[in-house]
Amino acid sequence: TATPKPTTIQLFGRLNTKGQREAFHIYSMKQAIEEGFILDVLQNYTTYDTFYQINKEIEDDPRCKTVDAKRQIARFVELHETNIAQRVEVIVEHFRTTVMPELGGMAKAMVITASRQGAVKYRQAFEDYTKKKGYTDIKALVAFSGKVKLPDDETEYSESSMNGFPEDRLTKEFDKDEYQVLLVANKYQTGFDQPKLCAMYVLKKLKGVSAVQTLSRLNRICPPFEKKTFVLDFANTYEDIKAAFAPYYTTTLLSTSVTPTAIYDLEAQIDAYTVLDPDDIEKANELLYKGNISSKDKQKLTFYFKRSKNMIEQYEPLKQQEIVSQMRHFVRFYEFLLQVSCFEDTDLHKKYNFITYLLAYINIKHPGGGYNLDGKIKATNFVQKKAEEHTDPKLVAQPVVKLPTAESFGLTEAKEERLSQIIAEINSRTGKAYDNDVAVKAMLQIRDILLKSDKLKTSARNNTVKDFEFSYFDDIDDALIEGLEQNQDFFSLLLSNDEIKKQVLGIFTEEIYKSLREA
């Protein structure tokens, strides 16, 4: 199990050398995500407050107004109370405009209500709203146990009576194209396997294992589609969710609004490198949106991407890494902004398409990586209409975005044990006899020196942990020189042996990255 309860560990766990009970084997969420077997459901996790702020800015921002057809999705901005009818409007409009086109139009969503009465009332509000708007392409089912009555209503409601079929048929019925949304009350929040679930709307407090298991209903991959998930949470805070996931998997959450201003700043920084040809972007998009891409089309696309790659490679290696890192940020935040709001800018979307494929074509760190245009073209997820033109001059500025992570910082017992093993191996390989305690203290000293680095702090705030590695290992030599007087012999060994240096100090990369990023 990815989420063992304390009682499970107590009953079935094995005693380790320290007298603690632990699982005999762990296949963590983190590993499963990295290996592509499940999705990271918190990649696009948004609280209602953040959703409100982003849409408020987009509604007011003259650079990106909504089109009339989608203006209703932002109506909740002017509303002060989030009652059932208003929440249903937000859920339905967001699902129809953003989620429904996913998976070739087969995407589904789950609404987590706080009670059986809540499930009934939300289903009623859902039916009323869709009927009023004339929507025939979105239908909802409800799931709860037993029978329930509402205040001032003598009707006895049950899952089967509201859905029109027995409870044991629900999973098969929900899998059909006829139904898109499932409203649940303490049901189907664990063990429910439906790969088409792309979005979740949370209306109740979630804690601990229950929070992880509930949100994990979204984590099933759905080949051959490149599935993206979205969570809109009306009831919990970032801290709630971070605390719930911390024991099982520490992930990145968006704690500040990704705004259009930040996206345009990132675009301007990328433009400043002059590695993207606007004509190539336009021609590439024409090919990408064709029904069938021929081998000749693929050759043309490869030519466009190779030209940009060559432009990037004219810069020195460190600057190349910086350019690629900025492009990754742009793709990540642009996708988030599209999922969380009614943002539209056709020219920006074309640039996003081009950069997405360019990043797959080039790989600075591991040369030789490729991209795949076979079969169906990669889903671009969002149908864009022409919005307004942007003729203002672009200014390069630092984007005001950050992605803090939820993990305490420090040298854990496990890391100290690993250091001990590494130092013992160094002793056997070099014929030295470095004292373990002295060496560990030396490592901690280097870590503290690195933590004070302004350069690393900037890098941590603006890069992913993989991109951060480049500047991290560049700064290690300066830290070693600074501590050389007190630990001359051990530091000299590290300075003279790149392999040992990276082996010993590489274990601090993530810790220092996360700590500096949160600073």
| pLDDT given for residue 416 in this prediction | 54
Lowest mean pLDDT among 2-6, 16-20, 79-83, 121-125: 79-83
Residue 412 has pLDDT above 70, yes or no: no
Residue 453 has pLDDT above 70, yes or no: yes
| pLDDT given for residue 49 in this prediction | 75
Lowest mean pLDDT among 203-217, 436-450, 480-494: 480-494
Mean pLDDT of the chain: 76
Residue 479 has pLDDT above 80, yes or no: no
| pLDDT given for residue 363 in this prediction | 62
Measured in whole angstroms, how far is the alpha carbon of residue 75 from the centre of its chain?
Answer: 27
pTM, rounded to two decimals:
0.58
With DSSP H G I counted as helix, E B as strand and the rest as coil, what are the percentages for the chain, rounded to 5? 55, 10, 40
Looking at per-residue pLDDT, the higher value among 143 and 385 belongs to 143
Phi, psi of 517 (to 5 degrees): -65, -30
Joined tokens for residue 367: 């040369």
pLDDT (tens digit per residue) in 304-342: 999 999 999 898 888 888 899 889 888 888 888 777 776
| pLDDT given for residue 337 in this prediction | 79
Of 128, 149, 141, the residue nearest 86 (C-alpha): 128
Looking at per-residue pLDDT, the higher value among 384 and 109 belongs to 109
**Number of Cβ within a 10 Å radius of residue 325:** 19
Name residue 244's amino acid: A
Distance between start and end Cα atoms, the chain: 34
For residues 427-449, average pLDDT: 72
Beta-carbon contacts of 136 under 8 Å, excluding residues fewer than 6 positions away, are none
| pLDDT given for residue 367 in this prediction | 43
pLDDT (tens digit per residue) in 219-275: 999 988 888 888 888 888 878 888 888 777 645 555 455 677 778 888 888 998 889
Looking at per-residue pLDDT, the higher value among 473 and 405 belongs to 473
Looking at per-residue pLDDT, the higher value among 189 and 402 belongs to 189
| Relative orientation angle of helices 465-482 and 436-451, to the nearest 10 degrees | 110
Lowest mean pLDDT among 82-91, 120-129, 481-490: 481-490
| pLDDT given for residue 484 in this prediction | 62
Lowest mean pLDDT among 11-25, 286-300, 363-377: 363-377
Of 300, 380, 320, 392, the residue nearest 62 (C-alpha): 392
114 burial (CB, 10 Å; 0-12 / 13-18 / 19+) is middle
| pLDDT given for residue 402 in this prediction | 36
Beta-strand (E) ranges in 23-122? 45-47, 108-112
Interior/surface letters 478-513, b for 16+ CB within 10 angstroms, e for the rest: ebbeebeeebeebbebbeeeeebbeebbebbbbbbb
**Number of Cβ within a 10 Å radius of residue 106:** 16
pLDDT (tens digit per residue) in 151-200: 778 899 999 999 999 999 999 999 999 999 999 999 998 888 999 999 99
| pLDDT given for residue 75 in this prediction | 43
Residue 74 has pLDDT above 50, yes or no: no
For residues 400-420, average pLDDT: 45
Q: How confident is the model at residue 408 (pLDDT cuts 50, 70, 90)?
A: very low
